[in-house]
Amino acid sequence: MEGRFITFEGGEGTGKSTQARMLADALERKSIAAVLTREPGGTPGAEAIRGLLLDNALDWNAEGEALLFAAARADHVANVIQPAVEAGKWVICDRFLDSSRAYQGGEGSISDADIMTLHSIGSRGYLPDLTILVEVDDAEREARLSARDGDESDRIGGKSATYHAKVAARFHALAEAETQRFVIVDGLGTPEDVHARVLQAVQDRLGGIS
């Protein structure tokens, strides 16, 4: 049987990495083989590119950044994601294409059409079966980020609160424009509360896990 490809998206501090792990664990408990992975990264080559992208000492412009993310994704899709889905596994990925659209796309930088073109060149346009956008409000995100990172954020995580609010708005717009693929999950509450919402959404959209 063909597997599934599910991505988690959202700004920093939304709890999506915790939710990705909890979903992968829940699937395993239901005897569904799951692969938990993340972007940028997930293969040795893509992890090497991740190091370049998140290095505070480097200063990529928007174009270079978008190309590096697309290159990392190409390696990840070809060597991990697609083979696992074809082998019948459920791949859970912490960030994917929509992070490029929300972070690298947007006003005055790379157009959404160009990001999609890079994805079609790099990964033959490979898309998730379901994308879970975990949302929290701006105040909650700022509180969680300063509790998590303090002064230690990476090159992208360390950008201003205004930047992160714009990213959150772009994610929201993407979800509203593609309601077939996206589901928005409220990230407020305990990890268990949010996990229950995630499981419900996966069951509603894809079935097979109840």
How many of the other CB atoms lie within 10 Å of CB of 140? 15
Task: Based on the shown chain and the rule CB under 6 A, indicate whether residue 117 belongs to the binding site for ligand TYD.
Answer: no
**In this complex, which beta carbon is closest to ligand TYD, that of residue 33 or of residue 188?**
188
Quick one: how many helices (H) and strands (E) in the chain? Answer: 9, 5
Specify the stretch interacting with ligand TYD by CB under 6 A; choose among 21-29, 151-159, 172-180, 186-194. 151-159
Q: How many Å from the N-terminal Cα to the C-terminal Cα in the chain?
A: 17
Distance CA 196, CA 190 (A): 10
17 binds ligand TYD (CB under 6 A): yes
39 binds ligand TYD (CB under 6 A): yes
> Smaller CB distance to ligand TYD: residue 112 or 209?
112
Q: CA triplet 186, 144, 147: central angle to 5 degrees? A: 160
Residue 69 touching ligand TYD (CB under 6 A): yes
- Say what the alpha-carbon torsion angle 191, 26, 102, 119 is, to the nearest 10 degrees: 170
Q: Which residue has the tokens 């360390």?
A: 158
Q: Which is nearer to ligand TYD, 32 or 67 (CB)?
A: 67
Instruction: Name every residue whose Cβ is closer than 8 Å to that of residue 155 and which is 6 or more positions away in sequence.
Output: 53, 54, 55, 56, 58
Output 17 or 109, the one with its CB closest to ligand TYD.
17
Range in contact with ligand TYD (rule: CB under 6 A) among 23-31, 82-90, 99-107, 170-178: 99-107
| Closest C-alpha among 74, 68, 86, 201 to residue 134 | 201
Q: How far is CA 23 from the centre of its chain?
A: 14
Tell which one of 40, 105, 106, 187 touches ligand TYD (CB under 6 A).
40
Q: Is 45 in the site for ligand TYD (CB under 6 A)?
A: no
- 182 touches ligand TYD (CB under 6 A): no
95 lies in the binding site for ligand TYD (CB under 6 A): yes
Listed ranges 26-34, 56-64, 80-88, 152-160: which one lies at the site for ligand TYD (CB under 6 A): 152-160
Which residue has tokens 């501090």?
A: 13
Q: Decide: is 141 part of the binding site for ligand TYD (CB under 6 A).
A: no
Residue 7 binding ligand TYD, by CB under 6 A: no
Q: Which residues bind ligand TYD (CB under 6 A)?
A: 12, 17, 39-40, 54, 69, 95, 99-100, 103-104, 154, 156-157
